Chains A and B, each alone.
Chain A
């Protein structure tokens, strides 16, 4: 239901005449860097990448330094002994697995996987399974008349049906003209058709707030929201099945990174660490835990482009 509260908060922002924001410099406590594992892989027929890095002080505006002497592998726990070796690739901290003729893509839906990352004596492990994913049935656009705050807009929507059965979780990723919509506010996750673990909406079409979340709402110079799509723009939507733990991880990431500021701060939750699924299983006594996440997704997708002459008739 977070999406609805976001809408409400958005409304309060409009009426916030007196509030103001300042970017400030603050001193942060110092700490020892820890290992970061960024392992979100999927069954698309392309190179799969796992990054092993170390944290930086929060205000260091640099890429995280890579860990280049790690051994990275993923094991199929359902059908052993299939092992996917991730080899050190080009770039700092990057480990890659390449599809091959006998393995045109990574993994099988329904199988469980184990990630192992070994750095010297230290061994980290994480588990994931590849969940099912429904196909994208259609991609549509609709036209909405604007007002003082938002321009006349073409709004995109996708249709897909969550299969019956509770506990499917998804991450819906969108590309506009080939560019991934990568703002924290655009993180679009869904528990079954769009509820939450305690209020399940199952086995139906994804709810409106999920379907509409594939639109980038950017402001122009005057602070007015622009139309998310213009005639001729292309759109690509992918549904990634994710584990329930990954849903929680992304939900927490959304809370921690999507900070609209202003009045929304009244409803902000305290800063807290998102929960990692990486376990420290072996190492020296002073070995530190790692943070980050391991998830294996099955992916369905659809592409389209905005042709204003082909909008569906208004209801």
Chain B
């Protein structure tokens, strides 16, 4: 640990407000009463002191407060609040089960605020979506989708339908860290970008950090998407499933040992190929067109102080022309975690994970001519973390992170007319490590701050060559000056970054707060992609002496205000400004696949993004939903592109409006709708035409990039959920629950543009005539798409 970190550590301990002598700790777990699922982020509020805390991602809370009589209130959205009175004279462990609201018995009426966490919490620029809300949002082809739902939140956008990933506050797709039970998922999409790899049946909670990122996270500069899987019902067995237009899902969960251990196993498979098989011979010789995924999690709680979690994900997309030829890709992750309590005040977690992403391409139907190409990135990580509840005003969190990466950019071999060929690139290795410390201090009822520091280091290791390049003409392939051989595990480059994080909250009255934050993030892995949308072939590359770490600095300021007695309306207005450096761009005609000299084709520049996010959410009543509006701008400045001037990125959208509403008509019907409006994304138009050897080539006389915008995007989706009867004719409750989802995507069948391209058309140019020229607008989903799915639970 560096001197600075030690200094900070001591600083934190000494600035903590004077500790009263007779402090005791009340701690425990908050769970769902029906399934035993640990509830993440439920509020524990001490009414007498006007302070509170939240359960962590393992459902654990710990509050250290002076001895006395207290009224503790446990709250979680969608659950009935519980009030527990205690006489705190010693350390107490209180585990609380909360009852889901839909099971609320009529006679129990508890009036309490639904949770004003958005006001009281220091956290800003973070967004949570619980899976029950996600399930109500109309989605493409009726499939509930985590990533698509996130795109309805302020500050989040995408370049268009079908594109993988998402963009946060002007960041690129490769600047988001997507974690599934703490393991990074390198490609979050099935079937390009149409579906995400996360099975909603196995997802418990998702949280997106757009800014004010806590010190415990690092490695990407735009956002962290933290997805937590369900633990599985530890009280009784259950089956969840669905039959949809594109795929079917099935999830089984249940106790291993009642109240102590449980498991969940969830799978999905698409079946376009199964349905098409009777109508075509296409699939007879081994062709495949499908994806599947399997999610497994199991946990066991040995006692109050120890719990073990094991979770895994396996998914694959397959596009095969026949047995020998085609394309497939997939993620695999496995996470092992051990929660341990040191006394009542120190919660610790040790995580070990392996994450693996690979793709494979193979061509050639004979032994004399074939080609096989595989690319892989493997990550292993050991991550200890400690949370120390010092007193009522301070909660210290510290830990470390040791990541090991193994890159296989291309394992590419083949046979050409009987002669073997090999264009494989050498494996690369890297270590990324971090130490972090953060504290949350409640200075007074009104003022709270969270501050921390992350010290990260990256070691890029051989085998391979260390190249030195020289720019001859900016924007064109660089020239090699020298190369030096390094052996396995010898250093290619090493980088260290100090990443400060801080946020401050000032509460004004009970219903309003103002928050400000700053964070610096460093990123050592780079997603190499020069196409409009990110795609599964994109390669992650480690930083080198030439590929320097990306850094992002973000400032954010926000006002948070709730309205109504029950906090019926939540409102927030946040502004952000972000600057970045070492942003990766590409020369025109860059060869990004299987290229030993990739660095010669990469350019580096700086970026800036700013925006204002408006969010209004209605929590209560029959009509729920939100309005999210972002006005934003994101630009890059790269020597060699756009004459070295600032230009908008491909995903720069000035206006981004989303309206989501769902209406619970009665026990049987829920209707929902969402509307999306996005400003047209920038693109480059030519000015002139010229010919070379008969080919018509577009030419931009000004050498500009993204100089015009395509038409605006807007779309309305609607859906209806029809729940099966809850009771039998004889009045008994049915054991099985089921529901239908009917939906229409793009209701008014707008042909929203994805891009406009310029070409000489599809026809063969006729001799003796000038070559024609066309502008063509592409709509990925240019029509209304109906959907129906049947879902069940028993």
Query: What is the CA–CA distance of A60 and B414 in the complex, to the nearest angstrom?
Result: 46
Which residues does chain A contribute within 8 Å of B770, judged by CB atoms?
A: 61-63
B412 within 8 A of A: yes
Given A199-B425, A256-B697, A267-B535, the answer on whether A12 and B597 have CB atoms closer than 8 Å is no
Is B760 a contact partner of A208 (Cβ separation < 8 A)?
no
Interface centre among B588, B772, B773, B780 (most CB of A within 10 A): B588
Q: Give A41 Cβ to nearest chain B Cβ, in Å.
A: 11
Query: What is the CA–CA distance of A259 and B371 in the complex, to the nearest angstrom?
Result: 25
Query: What is the CA–CA distance of A315 and B366 in the complex, to the nearest angstrom?
Result: 8
Query: What is the CA–CA distance of A206 and B416 in the complex, to the nearest angstrom?
Result: 7
Given A1-B594, A20-B782, A261-B757, the answer on whether A58 and B687 have CB atoms closer than 8 Å is yes
Q: Give B752 Cβ to nearest chain A Cβ, in Å.
A: 10
Is A29 a contact partner of B707 (Cβ separation < 8 A)?
yes
Binds A, one of B84-92, B437-445, B605-613, B678-686: B678-686
Is B775 a contact partner of A25 (Cβ separation < 8 A)?
yes
Q: Give A168 Cβ to nearest chain B Cβ, in Å.
A: 15
Is A268 a contact partner of B757 (Cβ separation < 8 A)?
yes
Q: Which of A60, A271, A275 contacts B689 (CB 8 A)?
A: A60
B76 within 8 A of A: no
Which residues does chain B contribute within 8 Å of A58, judged by CB atoms?
A: 686-689, 698-699, 758, 773
Q: Which of B355-400 contact A (CB under 8 A)?
A: 361, 363-364, 366-371, 373
Q: Mark B260-290, 1 if CB is under 8 A from A, else 0.
A: 0000000000001000000011100000010
Q: Which of A8, A24, A256, A273 contacts B327 (CB 8 A)?
A: A8
A118 within 8 A of B: no
Query: What is the CA–CA distance of A109 and B144 in the complex, to the nearest angstrom?
Result: 64
Q: Which of B445-480 contact A (CB under 8 A)?
A: 476-477
Binds A, one of B206-214, B525-533, B721-729: B525-533
Query: What is the CA–CA distance of A57 and B698 in the complex, to the nearest angstrom?
Result: 10
Q: Give A128 Cβ to nearest chain B Cβ, in Å.
A: 14
Query: What is the CA–CA distance of A256 and B589 in the complex, to the nearest angstrom?
Result: 9
Is A265 a contact partner of B593 (Cβ separation < 8 A)?
no
Count of chain B residues near A, Cβ 8 A: 101
Is A19 a contact partner of B778 (Cβ separation < 8 A)?
yes
Q: Mark B406-417, 1 if CB is under 8 A from A, else 0.
A: 000010101011
Is A19 a contact partner of B774 (Cβ separation < 8 A)?
no
Q: Which of A5-57 contact B (CB under 8 A)?
A: 5, 7-8, 11-12, 15, 18-26, 28-34, 36, 38, 40, 53, 55-57
Q: Give B530 Cβ to nearest chain A Cβ, in Å.
A: 6
Given A33-B688, A271-B684, A274-B697, the answer on whether A182 and B757 have CB atoms closer than 8 Å is no
Query: What is the CA–CA distance of A249 and B597 in the complex, to the nearest angstrom?
Result: 18
Q: Which of A4, A211, A253 contacts B697 (CB 8 A)?
A: A253
Q: Give B606 Cβ to nearest chain A Cβ, in Å.
A: 19
Given A208-B416, A266-B162, the answer on whether A29 and B687 have CB atoms closer than 8 Å is yes
Count of chain A residues near B, Cβ 8 A: 93
Which residues does chain A contribute within 8 Å of B303, judged by CB atoms?
A: none
Q: Which of B597, B688, B772, B779 contacts A55 (CB 8 A)?
A: B688
B483 within 8 A of A: no
Query: What is the CA–CA distance of A196 and B319 in the complex, to the nearest angstrom?
Result: 25
Is B289 a contact partner of A15 (Cβ separation < 8 A)?
yes
Is B777 a contact partner of A34 (Cβ separation < 8 A)?
no
Is A263 a contact partner of B162 (Cβ separation < 8 A)?
yes
Q: Which of B706-764 contact A (CB under 8 A)?
A: 706-708, 751, 754-760, 764
Q: Which of A147, A179, A196 contacts B594 (CB 8 A)?
A: A196
Q: Which of B597, B705, B764 contacts A270 (CB 8 A)?
A: B705
Which A residue's beta carbon lies closest to that of B289?
A: A15
Query: What is the CA–CA distance of A8 and B536 in the complex, to the nearest angstrom?
Result: 11
Query: What is the CA–CA distance of A263 and B684 in the complex, to the nearest angstrom?
Result: 19
Query: What is the CA–CA distance of A53 and B757 in the complex, to the nearest angstrom?
Result: 25
Q: Give B745 Cβ to nearest chain A Cβ, in Å.
A: 9
Is A196 a contact partner of B782 (Cβ separation < 8 A)?
no
Q: Mark A177-198, 1 if CB is under 8 A from B, else 0.
A: 0011011100100000111111
Q: Give B124 Cβ to nearest chain A Cβ, in Å.
A: 34
Q: Which of B282, B700, B701, B778 contacts A21 (CB 8 A)?
A: B778
Q: Which of B373, B688, B699, B773 contacts A4 (CB 8 A)?
A: B373
Which residues does chain B contribute within 8 Å of A5, judged by CB atoms?
A: 537, 593
Query: What is the CA–CA distance of A55 and B687 in the complex, to the nearest angstrom?
Result: 9
Given A23-B774, A34-B688, the answer on whether A18 and B780 have CB atoms closer than 8 Å is yes
Which A residue's beta carbon lies closest to that of B780?
A: A19
Which residues does chain A contribute within 8 Å of B767, judged by CB atoms?
A: 179
Query: What is the CA–CA distance of A245 and B370 in the complex, to the nearest angstrom?
Result: 29
Q: Give A53 Cβ to nearest chain B Cβ, in Å.
A: 7
Which residues does chain B contribute within 8 Å of A184, judged by CB atoms?
A: 695, 759-760
Is A199 a contact partner of B412 (Cβ separation < 8 A)?
yes
Query: What is the CA–CA distance of A55 and B591 in the complex, to the nearest angstrom?
Result: 29
Q: Give A112 Cβ to nearest chain B Cβ, in Å.
A: 19
Is A266 a contact partner of B366 (Cβ separation < 8 A)?
no
Secondary structure type dominating chain B contacts: loop
Which residues does chain B contribute within 8 Å of A273, judged by CB atoms?
A: 588, 699-700, 703
Q: Which of B593, B694, B697 contacts A182 (CB 8 A)?
A: B694
Is B364 a contact partner of A208 (Cβ separation < 8 A)?
yes
Is B694 a contact partner of A270 (Cβ separation < 8 A)?
no
Is B684 a contact partner of A182 (Cβ separation < 8 A)?
no
Which residues does chain B contribute within 8 Å of A198, judged by CB atoms?
A: 591, 594-598, 600
B168 within 8 A of A: no
Is A270 a contact partner of B706 (Cβ separation < 8 A)?
yes
Q: Which of A63, A205, A252, A293 contacts B589 (CB 8 A)?
A: A252
Q: Which of A4, A207, A255 contacts B361 (CB 8 A)?
A: A4
Which residues does chain B contribute within 8 Å of A274, judged by CB atoms?
A: 588-589, 697
Which B residue's beta carbon lies closest to that of A35?
A: B690
Is A265 a contact partner of B778 (Cβ separation < 8 A)?
yes
Q: Give B136 Cβ to nearest chain A Cβ, in Å.
A: 24
Q: Mark B289-325, 1 if CB is under 8 A from A, else 0.
A: 1000000000000000000000000000001010000
Which residues does chain B contribute within 8 Å of A182, judged by CB atoms?
A: 694-695, 764-765
Given A20-B751, A271-B683, A275-B476, the answer on whether A259 and B591 have CB atoms closer than 8 Å is no
Which residues does chain B contribute within 8 Å of A135, judged by CB atoms?
A: none
Is B757 a contact partner of A257 (Cβ separation < 8 A)?
no
Query: What is the CA–CA distance of A252 and B590 in the complex, to the nearest angstrom?
Result: 9
Given A19-B782, A30-B687, the answer on whether A24 and B533 have CB atoms closer than 8 Å is no
Is A38 a contact partner of B693 (Cβ separation < 8 A)?
yes
Q: Give B564 Cβ to nearest chain A Cβ, in Å.
A: 41
Which B residue's beta carbon lies closest to that of A38?
A: B692
Query: What is the CA–CA distance of A259 and B686 in the complex, to the nearest angstrom?
Result: 15
Which A residue's beta carbon lies closest to that of B745?
A: A18
B192 within 8 A of A: yes
Is B764 a contact partner of A147 (Cβ separation < 8 A)?
no
Which residues does chain A contribute within 8 Å of B482, judged by CB atoms?
A: none
Q: Which of B410, B702, B757, B764 contacts A199 (CB 8 A)?
A: B410
Is B596 a contact partner of A56 (Cβ separation < 8 A)?
no
Which residues does chain A contribute within 8 Å of B756, judged by CB atoms?
A: 24, 26
Which residues does chain A contribute within 8 Å of B772, judged by CB atoms?
A: 61
Which residues does chain B contribute within 8 Å of A206, judged by CB atoms?
A: 416-417
Query: What is the CA–CA distance of A194 and B417 in the complex, to the nearest angstrom?
Result: 12
Q: Give A279 Cβ to nearest chain B Cβ, in Å.
A: 11
Which residues does chain B contribute within 8 Å of A26, judged by CB atoms?
A: 685, 756, 775
Which A residue's beta carbon lies closest to that of B319?
A: A11
Q: Give B330 Cβ to nearest chain A Cβ, in Å.
A: 16
Which residues does chain A contribute within 8 Å of B778, judged by CB atoms?
A: 19-21, 261-262, 265
Is A29 a contact partner of B779 (Cβ separation < 8 A)?
no
23 contacts between A and B (CB under 8 A): A5-B593, A20-B751, A28-B686, A32-B701, A34-B701, A58-B686, A58-B698, A59-B773, A61-B770, A147-B281, A148-B282, A198-B594, A198-B596, A199-B423, A207-B414, A207-B416, A208-B364, A257-B759, A265-B780, A267-B533, A268-B531, A272-B700, A272-B705
Known pairs A32-B701, A208-B363 / 9 extra A-B pairs, C-beta < 8 Å: A1-B373, A1-B591, A12-B192, A18-B781, A34-B701, A205-B419, A208-B370, A257-B696, A271-B686
The 3 closest A-B pairs by CB, nearest first: A198-B595, A205-B417, A20-B782
